[in-house]
Amino acid sequence: MIRRFLAVLHARNLEFIRDRSALGWNIILPVLIVLGMWFLFSGGQKPLFTVAVFSGNTPFTGLHEAFLQTRYIHFYSIDNLPAAIRKVGHDQIDMVLDLHRRAKLRYWVNESSPKGYILEKLLNGEKGTRYTRASVSGRAIRYVDWLVPGVLGMNMMFSCLFGVGYVIVRYRKNGFLKRLNATPLKAIEFIAAQVASRLILIMLITVAVYIGTDLLVGFYMSGSYLALLLTAVLGAASMISLGLLIAARVASEELAGGLLNLLSWPMMLLSGVWFSLAGTYPWLRHAAQILPLTQLLEAARAVMLDGAGVVQILPHLLALAAMSFGFLALGALSFKWKND
């Protein structure tokens, strides 16, 4: 069993490495995206003010305070005040308002943030203001720092889904799987070899891209590299297993491409690759939690930006591990060798 597994693993690795166009594109694309976004967004502040409002169980939308009616400021409700205050320290949120206790209204701004300074002037300029200032400090997180996990995760997603899905469909279409079915090789052995091969290559490419772009741009990294690596491994494994599940029975490359696009585009838009879902509809944020890319990015950003350890990101890791096991088991049970 081990010899058969290693033989398939070795053959798959050679096949991918010899495809120089695919290998080069997996390396060049994320580098170009990171450098482009760094160039576009490193020179100035985004024009939109973002204010998180903590009001407990009382909705704040009905309040008639002039500041809450200010145009061009995005107000949204939160239920986790400490987490929002940490984001103020990282310049991910411009201000936090605490309306929970009407007798003691408070607000938080980052002392080094120009947006926080402007918002504070607007708030204190209102007549009859009753807010108490509570400032926080911290290194400002650039957009490129927040973007890096999203770009790397997106690159992993496309490589995992399409790199595995198209390959197996092509194997089935040209009769290669039919010939393998005549050997003692079992479906679970073949699938496990495909997962291991893609996982090894994806991790090598992702680590190389991370190091290379870090030398060029200089990312903010406050957590453990081992926790980040564990997150990346489980995230890649879950998306590889998902690609295998899609390709388990499909015999048409066109159908496989449509199904893979149907999975990849919602993940790219809803998992927070380019922008945060903070302030969007609650049901949309909850729905995004079922996507493996969402779990991967939330855990990676918690490690990189907030210094979270394995214990703090354990729910995300368990979700990714459960997805990997579930997708892999369903793929093995439904796997079809022949193109009937």
- Looking at 99, 133, 167, the residue that finishes a domain is 133
pLDDT of residue 295: 92
User: What pairs with residue 176 in β-bridges?
Assistant: none
Q: Are residues 168 and 255 in the same domain?
A: yes
Q: pTM of the full predicted structure?
A: 0.70
CB crowding 77-91: b at 16 or more within 10 Å, else e: ebeebeebbbbbbbb
Q: Are residues 300 and 281 in the same domain?
A: yes
Q: Are residues 120 and 160 in the same domain?
A: no
pLDDT of residue 135: 64
pLDDT of residue 68: 80
**Among candidate residues 196, 188, 150, the one with its CA nearest the CA of residue 291:** 150
Cα torsion 158, 163, 169, 174 to 10°: value is 150
- Looking at 112, 133, 154, the residue that finishes a domain is 133
Domain coverage including residue 161: 2-40+142-333
8 Å CB contact between 109 and 94 = yes
Q: And the tokens for 126? A: 């209102």
Stretch (H or E) spanning 105: strand 105-108
Q: Are residues 24 and 99 in the same domain?
A: no
Q: Is residue 339 part of a domain?
A: no
Per-residue pLDDT of the chain in tens (340 residues, 90 and over written 9): 788 778 877 777 777 677 665 566 566 666 766 665 565 555 554 546 888 888 776 666 656 577 887 877 888 888 888 888 877 876 678 889 888 776 578 888 887 778 888 888 888 776 656 777 876 765 666 777 878 888 888 888 888 888 777 778 887 877 777 787 777 778 778 888 888 888 888 899 889 888 888 888 787 888 889 999 999 999 999 999 888 888 877 776 667 777 787 788 778 878 888 877 766 667 877 888 899 999 999 999 989 888 888 899 999 999 999 999 998 888 878 877 776 6
Whichever domain contains 60, its CATH number is 3.40.190
132 φ/ψ angles, rounded to the nearest 5 degrees: -105, 130
How many domains does the chain divide into?
2
Q: Are residues 170 and 116 in the same domain?
A: no
Give Rg (Cα) of the chain. 24
Q: Are residues 56 and 196 in the same domain?
A: no
Q: Are residues 157 and 124 in the same domain?
A: no
